[in-house]
């Protein structure tokens, strides 16, 4: 993988064979860029919080800082889960399973993958899954 040459303006189209080398490379880059962006942002916020908390002798400021830390920890937990999903999508790319619904085996639309590159189900399968979850929660 990683052999397809893409220019910066390339976007997958339905006219191409689904998940051809170019599309796979496009989504691989998109996933890697997203992961790197999350990691970079996380590092910047953590550095800022550390610097801010060192300058807060006031009790109210420290309490505010602790609230910021609490929010940051929840955010980091969400980011960890998202990074795990991105890594899972990258593994599916390597295995040739990326872009196909894990329930029906049908291709996931390019528009859905563009908007949510970690998608594992078609919109229809996802909606069915969410309806079933809601029914089981309501029982």
What's the pLDDT at 92? 97
Q: What is the pLDDT of residues 108-118, one digit of tens each?
A: 999 999 999 99
Question: Which two three-digit tokens encode residue 23?
Answer: 């599309």
Predicted TM-score (pTM) of the model is 0.78
Average pLDDT over residues 75-94: 94
What's the pLDDT at 65? 65
* Nearest residue to 103 via CA among 128, 82, 83: 128
Identify whether the C-beta of residue 79 lies closer than 8 Å to the C-beta of residue 100: no
Q: Say if residue 58 is in the same domain as residue 119.
A: no
CA–CA–CA angle 122, 37, 72 (5° rounding): 95
Q: Say if residue 41 is in the same domain as residue 60.
A: yes
Q: How many domains does the chain have?
A: 2
Residue 5 lies in a domain: no
Q: Say if residue 78 is in the same domain as residue 47.
A: yes
Q: Average pLDDT over the chain, rounded to whole?
A: 87
Q: Look up the CATH number of the domain holding residue 46.
A: 1.20.120.910
* Partners of 100 in beta bridges: 107
Phi/psi region, residue 19 (left: phi>0; alpha: psi -120 to 50; beta: rest), is left
Q: Say if residue 22 is in the same domain as residue 78.
A: yes
Q: Which domain holds residue 123?
A: 101-139
Residue 6 lies in a domain: no
């Amino acid at each position: 993988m990683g052999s397809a040459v893409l220019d910066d303006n390339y976007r997958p189209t339905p006219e191409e064979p689904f998940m051809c080398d170019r599309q796979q490379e496009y989504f691989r880059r998109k996933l890697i860029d997203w992961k790197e962006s999350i990691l970079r942002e996380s590092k910047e916020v953590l550095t800022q919080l550390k610097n801010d908390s060192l300058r807060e002798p006031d009790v109210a400021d420290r309490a505010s800082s602790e609230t910021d830390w609490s929010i940051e920890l929840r955010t980091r937990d969400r980011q960890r889960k998202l990074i795990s999903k991105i890594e899972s999508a990258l593994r599916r790319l390597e295995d040739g399973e990326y872009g196909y619904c894990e329930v029906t085996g049908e291709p996931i639309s390019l528009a859905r993958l563009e908007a949510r590159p970690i998608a594992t189900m078609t919109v229809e399968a996802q909606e069915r899954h969410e309806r079933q979850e809601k029914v089981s929660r309501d029982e």
